[in-house]
Amino acid sequence: MSKETRFCPFRRVLTRQRTRITENRVEENFKDRFGGCCGERCMAYRDGRCLRLEKKEEQDG
């Protein structure tokens, strides 16, 4: 297995941060990012390939 980090679109992480700017105003920031691939521990991962991504490509094509 290579040392580079792979990201999985099915393990998306959404974080929300609220900051009070003034007494009556609150600002919300959202951060959306992909989670890390868990590799062999994922039930959609076989023989070094993500079966979820392959299935999605077949449906799009």
| pLDDT for residue 3 | 63
38 within 8 A of 17, measured Cβ to Cβ: no
What type of residue sits at position 28? Answer: E
| pLDDT for residue 33 | 86
Per-residue pLDDT of the chain (61 residues; tens, 9 = 90+): 456 677 887 788 888 888 887 878 888 888 888 888 888 888 888 887 888 777 766 677 6
| pLDDT for residue 18 | 85
First-residue to last-residue Cα distance in the chain: 29
Question: At 38, is the secondary structure helix, strand, or coil?
Answer: coil
Per DSSP bridges, beta strands 7-20 and 49-50 are: unpaired
| pLDDT for residue 51 | 82
Phi, psi of 60 (to 5 degrees): -70, -35
